[in-house]
Amino acid sequence: MAALAVGGTLLFLLMAAVWGNQQAGHNLHQLLCLAAGYLVLQTPRLTAGIFAQERREQTLGLLFLSGLGASEVFASKLFSAALVAFGDLLALFPMLAVPFLIGGVSFELFLATICAWPNFLLCVLAVCLLASVLTRDDGTAVILTAVLLFLLCGAGPLIYLAQSQFSAAAKLSSAWLLMSPAYGPYLTWRGFGMTPVSEFWNNLGVTMAWSGLCLTGAAVALKSLWREREQDSGAFGWRARWQRWLHGDARSRRRLAATWLEANPFVWLAARDRQPAILAWLVVGGIVAFWLGCWVAWPNRWPSVPNLFLTATLLNLALRWVIHFTAARSLGDARRDGSYELLLTTPLDPGDIVGGKFEASRWHFRRVTRTVLALEFAMMLTGLTLRHWTGSALYVYGAIWTGLLAWAWNQSSRWRATSFVLWASLNSARPAYAVSRAMGLTCWSWLWIVFNLQFLFAKLPAFPTGSQGEVWFVSFILFVVLVPLALQALFDVKTETGWGNRVWKGWERRLVNEFRDIVREPLPDPDDPRFKKWKPGERFPWGWDLAQQQFEATRRMITPEQFAAAWRDYRRRRRWFIGTGVGGVVIATLVVTPSSRPQLGLVSFWALGPAWMICVLIVALRFQLFKCPRCRLPFSNGNPLARTCLHCGLPKWSANL
């Protein structure tokens, strides 16, 4: 990261000097802020499993029984996560002084920048630790972190934006912006302009308060988690009622057993816990409650046709993620804990397991999906009363609602559409990762959301207008979709052999045929670098090849003297790397002071800066290319805090294989 930062900064400055860019310092400052934002957003991926893995493997109790207190366990995990999270950002920090030294930004903005980004990273890390404490899977922790960060960072600005668009008040309160931890980094990227500097420092304090609140919540929750099984088994009073409401009571399970226990026992096993259905109802109810709350706040301006389109899309998209993640989690978790190896010794075959998973999804979500379908039909009728319609505009309106209702109906009836996600989850044993790789971000739906947002918040003509372009575009989409259906009906082809069902049946058949082979394979390591190149439609390159490579590596005759020489070379490279980076910052601080002779900073930078950057680039590349003495691959990719090899797991300073 340090080499990339130095090289990118040097290249940018050389290009700015060639083109004569007078705003090079300001532009470089914005570019470095974007890089810092990218590094901050990588924190959940790096630290999400720090407590979730302990909960999943039931090792928290062992940590407490070893004599460590809850505060000691939490503090050690916090500091280790901070070392991982802050590493890349600290490598970028020396470059943040360059725009100030060449006169691109003021000292006030420079000081705000070096305070804002570490503070924002600490807030993201605190939220990530809270999500990790509350979940058992690293992928689930990443999703929960994203949701919590969206609420913390986006709720205030969205309310501020909604007030500016829908409220008749002339003066807007900036208190909503100050509540967002992302507001301070945004000010450092944009520049203060007309915004008072005091707002930044107030936001800095609010962000620290959010960080402290999340860390306190995570620490308090951690104290009771290691005994959660005992507490759940002995629950009574409100805790027992909560467990029955969340997971289901004996009567509902007896009703499920009477229906499925004889036909397919796996359906009863997969559907007995109704927590996924409760989650789906909470998600749908939250979206509906938010919409109704905004309607109460702005009764005249909130209801609109683009708003209804946007709400229906969010309902379908949220429900789709819940359904697919529930299916992937049930299959992936059982794959990870070895349950299927026991189930396959019973009379159940893979077909019963896969088919039972589809029936369990139908049992969980049939009511909520039908409710969403009815809500969207009601929204379609409501939209007809909100404005005056022309024939062409009504045609476009009906075509759009046909697509949205078809999407909702498809989710309420075709449960085999989760076949591909089930395949990916069984292969990777990482449910959230499988869902994200198999489904992506559903690009067309997000583009549709952004398209409707511009009509919701911008003062543009109401959509749909019924223009000729809209009519032609909608007609083309209908032609592409309806012609295959018409040909299918014309030649009397059954629905089960339609294109979508053939795809789902193909994945279902492949899943059933290869189920036994997959569950017999060793679990892939979540940190395996091959996940980056893995395509969800393919079998994962399982651990047999990796085990064979490691076995061949152990057969290599490497003497302890060769190990000692390699680690001596590593120490030299690391000293040069740290000394060059820190030394340049110290020299710049001694030579230049912000209070006197600002021209000296410019002259010193052009005299010493390029040489220092080239030295840092060379030293960083040399440190990054240090090869592990066992596998002969890059040991740490430039991370001076790495404790093991990224490829073969060799501990640092090992004297032998």
DSSP 142-175: HHHHHHHHHHHHHHHHHHHHHHHHH---SS--TH
Q: What is the dihedral of CA 566, 568, 570, 573, to 10 degrees?
A: -130
Residue ending a domain, choose from 483, 508, 541: 541
Task: Give me the residues paired with residue 593 across strands.
Answer: 596
Same domain assignment for residues 390 and 516: yes
Torsion sign (Cα): 341, 345, 347, 349: positive
Residue 374 CA to residue 366 CA, distance in Å, equals 12
Q: Transcribe 213-246 into DSSP letters.
A: HHHHHHHHHHHHHTTHHHHHHT--THHHHHHHHH
**DSSP type of residue 417:** G
Q: Residue 591 belongs to what domain range?
A: 553-657
Residue 256 CA to residue 415 CA, distance in Å, equals 18
Instruction: With a cut of 50, list the residues of the chain below it in pLDDT.
Output: 229-234, 442, 460-461, 491-500, 543-547, 551, 555, 595-597
The SS3 assignment for 582 reads: helix
Same domain assignment for residues 535 and 559: no
The SS3 assignment for 196 reads: coil
530 phi, psi to nearest 5 deg: -70, -10
The answer to whether residue 261 is domain-embedded is: no
The answer to whether residue 369 is domain-embedded is: yes
- pLDDT at residue 484 in the model: 58
Residue 419 CA to residue 501 CA, distance in Å, equals 10
- pLDDT tens, residue by residue, 90-121: 878 788 888 887 777 888 888 888 899 899 99
- pLDDT at residue 370 in the model: 92
Residue 254 CA to residue 273 CA, distance in Å, equals 12
Same domain assignment for residues 450 and 351: yes
- pLDDT at residue 445 in the model: 61
Structure tokens at 236: 């009574």
The answer to whether residue 100 is domain-embedded is: yes
Residue 279 CA to residue 486 CA, distance in Å, equals 38
- pLDDT at residue 191 in the model: 84
Position 618: which residue type? I
Same domain assignment for residues 398 and 473: yes
- pLDDT at residue 345 in the model: 75
Same domain assignment for residues 466 and 607: no
CB 137 within 8 A of CB 329: yes
Residue 420 CA to residue 434 CA, distance in Å, equals 9
The answer to whether residue 266 is domain-embedded is: no
Residue 131 CA to residue 140 CA, distance in Å, equals 8
The answer to whether residue 244 is domain-embedded is: no
Task: Give me the residues paired with residue 644 across strands.
Answer: 651
Longest dimension (CA), the chain: 87
112 phi, psi to nearest 5 deg: -65, -35
The SS3 assignment for 57 reads: coil
Residue ending a domain, choose from 210, 230, 250: 230
Task: Give me the residues paired with residue 235 across strands.
Answer: none
Residue ending a domain, choose from 509, 541, 573: 541
How far apart, in Å, do the first and last CA atoms of the chain sit? 29
Closest Cα partner for 112 from 230, 169, 29, 40?
29
- Listed in sequence order, the residues at least 6 apart from 530 whose beta carbon sits closer than 8 Å to its beta carbon are 524, 540, 541
CB 428 within 8 A of CB 434: yes
Residue 178 CA to residue 156 CA, distance in Å, equals 8
Number of domains in the chain: 3
Residue 505 CA to residue 509 CA, distance in Å, equals 6
Same domain assignment for residues 557 and 525: no
Same domain assignment for residues 491 and 609: no
Packing angle, helices 598-624 and 560-591, rounded to 10:
170
Same domain assignment for residues 336 and 469: yes
CB hemisphere CA count around 585 (13 angstroms)? 14
Give the residue carrying structure tokens 């749908």. Answer: 284
The answer to whether residue 639 is domain-embedded is: yes
Same domain assignment for residues 120 and 191: yes
Structure tokens at 214: 């999340």
CB 19 within 8 A of CB 111: no
The SS3 assignment for 634 reads: strand
CB 120 within 8 A of CB 127: no
Q: Transcribe 15-63 into DSSP letters.
A: HHHHHT-TTHHHHHHHHHHHHHHHHHHTHHHHHTHHHHHHHHTT-HHHH
Give the residue carrying structure tokens 């420092």. Answer: 201
Residue 621 CA to residue 8 CA, distance in Å, equals 13
Structure tokens at 401: 């609602």
Same domain assignment for residues 499 and 568: no
Same domain assignment for residues 302 and 175: no
Closest Cα partner for 536 from 436, 394, 647?
436
**DSSP type of residue 458:** S
- pLDDT at residue 498 in the model: 46
Structure tokens at 453: 């947002």
Closest Cα partner for 357 from 263, 254, 277, 271?
271
Same domain assignment for residues 394 and 465: yes
- pLDDT at residue 492 in the model: 43
The answer to whether residue 123 is domain-embedded is: yes
Closest Cα partner for 395 from 452, 335, 474, 451?
474
Helix (H) or strand (E) holding 595: none
State yes or no: cis peptide before 464, omega within 30 of 0: yes
The answer to whether residue 392 is domain-embedded is: yes
